[in-house]
Amino acid sequence: MWKVAPLKSSFMLASMLGFMISVVYTAYGRISQDWGFALGFLFAIMFIASFISMTKAPIEMQLEMAPDLIRSPKKKTRKKRKKAKAAKKPAVKKAAKKK
């Protein structure tokens, strides 16, 4: 069996964008069909590699790569709690008594 390395999501984005650009450039004749096929094949292999990495790589290694995904919930300070409570209370209007 072979080991799967975790890849960043930007790798998948680059492969999709590169494939689309190479297809469009080949269709409009800006690059030759040989280069278009070679680049399209390369970016397709990159996409397949990123898809395999997304499904088979160990989650622990992926989480180590992106520590900002794991955040402890921030605790509210007293001032913020007091402001939140004050905002939730309905304003009480005093009715003027007419005599």
Top-confidence residue, 70 or 29 = 29
Per cent of the chain over pLDDT 90 is 41
Cα–Cα distance for residue pair 62/50, rounded to 1 Å:
12
The residues, ordered by sequence, that sit 6+ positions from 89 with a Cβ below 8 Å of its Cβ are none
55-68 tens-digit pLDDT: 887 777 666 766 66
Cα–Cα distance for residue pair 27/32, rounded to 1 Å:
9
* Nearest Cα residue to 37 out of 29, 47, 26, 46: 26
Per cent of the chain over pLDDT 70 is 60
pLDDT band for 96, please (50, 70, 90 cuts). Answer: low
